[in-house]
Amino acid sequence: MDKTIVVQIARRISHPLYKKIITRYKNFHTHDEKNEAQVGDLVRISETRPLSKTKRWRLAKIVQQGELALANAAAAAAKPEASPEDAKESAEA
């Protein structure tokens, strides 16, 4: 889905009878106008008018970038593009 992210909110509750701590999850379909959020980012969302059947939230800001997004950016920066001249030189050698 273009311009849509799914934000998962986790909350921990105590089971009423057994008192075991349980993690409950809720997914929110959120509008991301610029497609700037990546997997693993910590984001802030705000409520808005219904944008589609399931989207009622907008991305307010990215609070912290996720480790996965930072690792992908670092790998892309570290990998230099090979030029055609370099390929010719290695083929001649």
pLDDT at residue 63 greater than cutoff 80: yes
For residues 32-48, give the mean pLDDT: 95
62-77 b/e (C-beta count within 10 Å ≥ 16 → b): beeebeebeeeeeeee
CATH for 10: 2.40.50.140
pLDDT at residue 77 greater than cutoff 90: no
Structural domain boundaries, residue 25: 4-92
The DSSP letter of residue 88 is: H
What is the per-residue pLDDT for 83?
57
- 28-39 pLDDT tens trace: 999 999 999 999
* Contact (CB, 8 A) for 13 and 24: yes
Number of folded domains in the chain? 1
List phi, psi (to 5°) of 70: -70, -40
